[in-house]
Amino acid sequence: MIHGFRRAGAAGVALLCLAALAGCGGGDNPGPPVVSGEVKIGLLAPLTGGNTEAGRDAQRGAELASRLINTGEGWSGYSPERIWGLTGHARLSIVTLDTKSDRQRAADGASTLVNGNGVAGIVGAFGAEATLDASQRAERLQTPFLSGDAANTALTERGLSWFFRAGPDAADYGGAFLSLLRNAELPGQERRRVAVLYSNDATGTDLNSIIAEYGEEAGYQIVASAPYEPGDADPAAAVGAIQAAAPDVVLLATAAGAGERLGNAFRTSGYTPPAVVVYGAPAEAARLAAIPGFAGRVSRQVSWSLPITRANPLAAAVTERYQHDFGVAMTAEAATAFTAVTIYARAIEDAGSSARERIRSALVAIDLPGSATIMPWNGVRFDGTHQNTLSATAVEQDTDGSFATVYPRDLATTSVNWPPPGSAAPATALSSAGSGTRAASTGARNG
């Protein structure tokens, strides 16, 4: 777990970054260097078109990772002269292609990165459909494809040999949501009635299916399930279905740009849900919370956030360096891209090779502790489907204009604050959720 460490200064970020990676796997493997020259990692991200903020941040995160890896001289125990670093024999570079949030461009971009640029692996593609098609193309080209952001369960259910997901899947998010509900109940209190308002796309329908299955197993009543079209300027019909069901909590799967539109639709209807938990880009939750009437009612599920980094010296140092280099705060998209690139660096070191098949084998065998990443995870270890079983989720709630962590307990800085069931009145503080992210999620799946 990432709690319990002292904060490290930004000056030591390169040392921490690679020393953490060195402490796991084959980083101390002696012998002559077998990787030299430029090793390219491809990044597929939406730099124009829709979701450009995510693409820009992902590119920055990936570039920062390569920068630290290439200049990390003096890494304790890493033997930097073997592959990476100023005295090493190889340099890691990022080749970015713009997907324009288009799945065909993402797939074609995967081909360009492999056949035209000779990349050793691909990161991306920051969108469910784009990731689905691009990773399928990478499979045919026998090139590792590592996703940190696309949570759709189908991605790891295809039996692909070359696709890996480092971040949580939708089942983790759904399980965490139900765990939070269960652990926020007071003795003798009725269970909250849940509604799901979801985008009618791969991401939204995936989450809706998971909540329908796991909610029933866990004993929660799903009183409404309403889809909206991601580009719909007026989602009044979906909002009306939620209002008619009068739920205690709304789980909201947001498409890019939908947070504000949905909030305004609720406001126009004269109805504000007692509590909303947002699944999607953290920025969408912030936009929803800024709508009049939603202050203090909005929570969001995250795979990473700035407040969480305070407990992890590596994460704190990296976020400070990111702020210094780019003049803005690090985001979840930047953090996931940064993490994916560092996982590749570790795999290449473990493999002692930049050959794609050797890297794929190293990813299958990789085993990193949570302290070796900047994420609130227990580490990196892929199962038979190539899902990282040690990834985890957190939940933050809007509190006085900013988001504070309420789940899991070991990261929480405050308690979840929701109205009691059947009431839209101001909430009283309830106990925060249980202690283990993946374990708690699994518990929720099992009811």
The whole-number pLDDT of residue 290 equals 93
In angstroms, the CA 326 to CA 253 distance is 30
Residue 147 main-chain phi, psi, to 5 deg: -105, 140
In angstroms, the CA 179 to CA 434 distance is 8
Pair 141, 181: CB distance under 8 Å? no
Burial of 297 (0-12, 13-18, 19+ CB in 10 A): buried
Listing DSSP states for 104-143 in one string gives: HHHHHHHHIIIIIT--SEEE--SSHHHHHHHHHHHHHTT-
What's the chain's average pLDDT?
A: 85
The whole-number pLDDT of residue 169 equals 95
**pLDDT tens digits along 202-218:** 999 999 999 999 998 89
Question: In this structure, what token pair is assigned to residue 231?
Answer: 């580009």
Helix (H) or strand (E) holding 98: strand 90-98
Pair 147, 138: CB distance under 8 Å? no
Taking the alpha carbons at both ends of the chain, their separation in whole angstroms is 25
The whole-number pLDDT of residue 424 equals 53
Pair 250, 256: CB distance under 8 Å? no
The whole-number pLDDT of residue 20 equals 52
The pLDDT profile of the chain, 447 residues, written as one tens digit per residue, is 333 322 334 344 544 555 455 544 444 444 555 788 999 999 999 999 878 999 999 999 999 999 999 987 433 333 445 788 877 789 999 999 999 999 999 999 999 999 999 999 999 998 899 999 999 999 999 999 999 889 999 999 999 999 999 999 999 999 999 999 988 888 888 899 999 999 999 999 999 999 999 998 899 999 999 999 998 888 999 999 999 999 999 999 998 889 999 999 999 999 999 999 999 988 899 999 999 999 999 999 998 988 888 888 889 999 999 999 999 999 999 999 999 999 999 999 999 999 999 999 999 999 999 888 999 999 999 999 999 999 999 999 998 889 999 998 888 888 888 888 876 543 334 444 343 333 333 333 333
The whole-number pLDDT of residue 422 equals 79
DSSP strands (E only) in 186-331: 194-199, 222-228, 249-253, 276-279, 298-302
The whole-number pLDDT of residue 421 equals 86
Residue 270 main-chain phi, psi, to 5 deg: 80, 15
In angstroms, the CA 263 to CA 292 distance is 9
**pLDDT tens digits along 380-429:** 999 999 999 999 999 999 988 899 999 988 888 888 888 888 765 433 34
Question: In this structure, what token pair is assigned to residue 91?
Answer: 């340099």
The whole-number pLDDT of residue 444 equals 36
The whole-number pLDDT of residue 419 equals 87
> Which of 447, 440, 445, 362 is CA-nearest to residue 407?
440
> Which of 140, 120, 37 is CA-nearest to residue 84?
37
> Which of 289, 439, 327, 352 is CA-nearest to residue 28?
352
In angstroms, the CA 275 to CA 294 distance is 9
Q: Which residues does residue 44 pair with via DSSP β-bridges, in sequence order? A: 97
The model carries a pTM of 0.85
Q: Which residues does residue 91 pair with via DSSP β-bridges, in sequence order? A: 38
In residues, how long is the chain?
A: 447
